[in-house]
Structure 1
Amino acid sequence: MTERYTFGGSLNAITCHAWNKDRSQIALSPNNNEIHIYSRELNWKLVDVLNQHDLRVMDIDWARNTNRIVSCAADRNAYVWSQGEDGKWKPTLVLLRINRAATCVKWSPSENKFAVGSGARLISVCYFESENDWWVSKHIKKPIRSTITSLDWHPNNALLVAGSTDYKVRVFSAYIKDIEDQPTPTPWGNRMTLGHLMAEFKNAANTGGGWIHSVSFSGDGNRICWVGHDSCINIADSTNGNIIRCKTEHLPFLSCVWISLDSVLVAGHSCVPLIFSLDGNKINFSAKLDTTQKKESSGISAMRIFQSLDRNSRSENSDSFIESIHQNAISCVRIYSGDKLSCKKISTSGTDGQLVIWDLDSKLINSFKGLNLDGK
């Protein structure tokens, strides 16, 4: 069963969303400077609106065990939100020390630090300084030369993978000796000083590539997957040095996440979540979660439809309704149940204002139930 949630008819885009530990609450941003907290009781109920940011919220992450929310925005700020005894969320300012928009944020697995990417061509690794009761940051700068678009942590809490608009994917050490023990060696390398470049990959070096939209460490930390604006899926393996690339005919993907040791889920401008699996030195298509898109099942891909419109000098298709659950690009993908080693359910949100929970156990979904977050 696939669950579909909307906002009482509102068409506001959802920029990003994040779940609490037991999935009883969700934090999401309706494409503005606010963060809305909903609680699932009999129906979804709006319980708080966090409006400390001055400009559009770019990303949110919810720490499962410590129950803290971190947010970043185009106003160059990040806040760590803690819930008080009255149930209301209180912000603590993070000293990012950046002069451009903060674009992405991610808690580390141990939740003792988080990383913030920005347009300032650097990564801020932030941790709590108890003496002054605030969050401070240390910067990773070299050899970054462009905006950081996506971040993900290695399971060892020390390594960080970053994608950027210079077509590069880089693995850095984000180890902070002041707050944690020395990490053990990994296949990515032994040197773990903060900011040390462990690996660097260029997105499709032979074909021009494109901006990196999303990066993800595998559950065991030995592989990374990334997707860019060239509609390709890329996987790099640290154990053997292999880099595998799969060119697709879909529109560009905006998100990717590992759902098992050998499978990744991707989604983006084609409006449908897709599963690809690693088979030796090849990445093969495995499943499409949304089976309502008859145009693709008949052999006409979203990319070919777009090319047809361009050739015929038409600005839009004659159909105003897309035969898929999501009616516009999927911008955010989160694991809802399970983890990267064995994911059971995922959630997607997008610019159509919908939030959809997909059951991966059944692979191909034929039905969904439509509900509103406000219970209507």
Structure 2
Amino acid sequence: MQASLVRRLEEPDIEVINCHAISHDEQFLALCPNCEEIDMFQLLSEKYQRSDVLTKHSQRVTGLDWSCFGRLLSVSEDRTAFVWERGTSDGTWRSSNVELKAQRAALCAAWSPNGELFAVGLSSKDTALCYWKEEVNCWVAMKVGKSKAAITSLAWHSSSQFLATGSTDRYCVVYDVSMSESGDLTPSFGTPQVTEDAGSWINDIAFSNGNVLAFTCQDATVRFKSLVGGADAPVEIVRWLGLPFLRLAFVGRTQLVACGFDYVPVLFVQRDGAWQVAGSLDVGGAPSGGPAGVVRESFDEARQRFRGSTGGKASKPGSWHSNTITSCCPLKDGRFSTSALDGTVLVWEMSS
């Protein structure tokens, strides 16, 4: 498998991107340049061009996500969240209030696949599950679960009935968040269905359409658990010989892209019933050493790269990104996007 570069966004005034999100139809791109503002871009003539700057938050935006209905969710360290919708008449973005009830910073956010709910991971060790309440004309939160440390990642099951959370307490937990057709909570609401000890803090989690739960940890491993076998199914551990991954995205039932400190997206595939590293997807031809395309470098090379990073951008030879990849978003038809601390956003397309 290979990946080709479809689009590249690089603005002179954007030096760092800590999170981004692309709408389902790929017409809009939202990103945060590591501050309290959200830069909006619209796809015009196959290029993303800046259209708006959203300014509601008072501290750094930490999470962005698009719903299937074209709503943008943003959360921030200022303990607030907003849902943005674009007006059909004038094209301006308007925000809806969210009664988040957060005592500490919001760290991540994710819409449910059906677009009716969204979840916000909080540094107060719990998760806010938000729904629209017509009586008060705003989104209202109810708390789900309680961890021993901050919630750093979220992932929804394709049925919108289960929510997975990852925490720095090293546990990955899947909760039942199903509701009845009338909107009432089911008796099993909020009950943990799966609990896994990852051994180290969890950086990101992802659900596949084939009921596979993947989570990556700070110990440079990616772990896979097939939920077809139930809560007691074994966890398959794939070790990475490079630096830890920060983000995961399924681009197929048996294909997972992982990104992080190595500057390059790496493909994991399931072959003969086992998950394994397939290699780097960077079209720039990042060097590989050792088995399965693992990127390596000597101690002297690492030291020189660290020293050079203080004086400007220091990219790995042949890589499109020149700094840590901070965000990875799955798109349709085998596409995915990445953004990094180098201030660029790339859209990739898988090819056989």
TM-score by length of structure 1 reads: 0.83
Match of 2:216 among 227, 230, 243: 227
Deviates more, 1:318-327 or 1:86-95: 318-327
Q: Which residue in 2 is equivalent to 1:274? A: 266
Higher RCO by CA contacts (8 Å cutoff, separation 6 or greater): 1
| Residues in 2 aligned to 1:212 and 1:227: alpha-carbon distance in whole angstroms | 6
Root mean square deviation, CA, Å: 2.5
Runs of 4+ in 1 over 6 A off after TM superposition: none
| Residues in 1 aligned to 2:43 and 2:279: alpha-carbon distance in whole angstroms | 30
What SS does the corresponding residue of 1:259 show, helix, strand or coil? strand
Give the drift of 1:182: 8.1
Change (3 A) 1:117 1:82: same
| Residues in 2 aligned to 1:25 and 1:169: alpha-carbon distance in whole angstroms | 31
CA contact (8 A) 2:314 2:322 kept: no
Q: Which residue in 1 is equivalent to 2:331? A: 336
Give the drift of 1:314: 8.6
CA contact (8 A) 2:14 2:33 kept: no
**Structure 1 position 236 matched with structure 2 position 228:** no
**Structure 1 position 55 matched with structure 2 position 55:** no
Q: Which residue in 2 is equivalent to 1:82? A: 85
What SS does the corresponding residue of 1:210 show, helix, strand or coil? coil
What SS does the corresponding residue of 2:288 show, helix, strand or coil? helix
**Structure 1 position 24 matched with structure 2 position 27:** yes
Q: Which residue in 2 is equivalent to 1:366? A: none
Matches within 5 A, 1:239-258: 239-240=228-229, 241-258=233-250
Q: Which residue in 2 is equivalent to 1:121? A: 125
Give the drift of 1:228: 1.1
Partner deviation per Cα, 1:192-218 (whole Å, 9 max, x = no partner): 622101010011xxxxx3221110111
Change (3 A) 1:178 1:120: farther
CA contact (8 A) 2:63 2:107 kept: yes
| Residues in 1 aligned to 2:297 and 2:41: alpha-carbon distance in whole angstroms | 39
Matches within 5 A, 1:183-194: 193-194=188-189
Give the drift of 1:157: 1.0
Give the drift of 1:294: 4.7
Q: Which residue in 2 is equivalent to 1:262? A: 254
CA contact (8 A) 1:289 1:358 kept: no
Q: Which residue in 1 is equivalent to 2:320? A: 325
TM-score by length of structure 2 reads: 0.89
Structure 1 unaligned residues grouped into runs of 5+: 184-191, 204-208, 339-343, 363-376
Change (3 A) 1:178 1:119: farther
CA contact (8 A) 2:264 2:281 kept: yes
Change (3 A) 1:60 1:179: farther
CA contact (8 A) 1:309 1:317 kept: no
Change (3 A) 1:164 1:280: farther
| Residues in 2 aligned to 1:197 and 1:182: alpha-carbon distance in whole angstroms | 15
Q: Which residue in 2 is equivalent to 1:373? A: none
Count residues in correspondence: 339
CA contact (8 A) 2:280 2:286 kept: no
Q: Which residue in 2 is equivalent to 1:290? A: 282
Letter in 2 for 1:20: S
Give the drift of 1:249: 0.6
| Residues in 2 aligned to 1:141 and 1:6: alpha-carbon distance in whole angstroms | 38
Change (3 A) 1:45 1:317: closer
Identity fraction in percent? 28
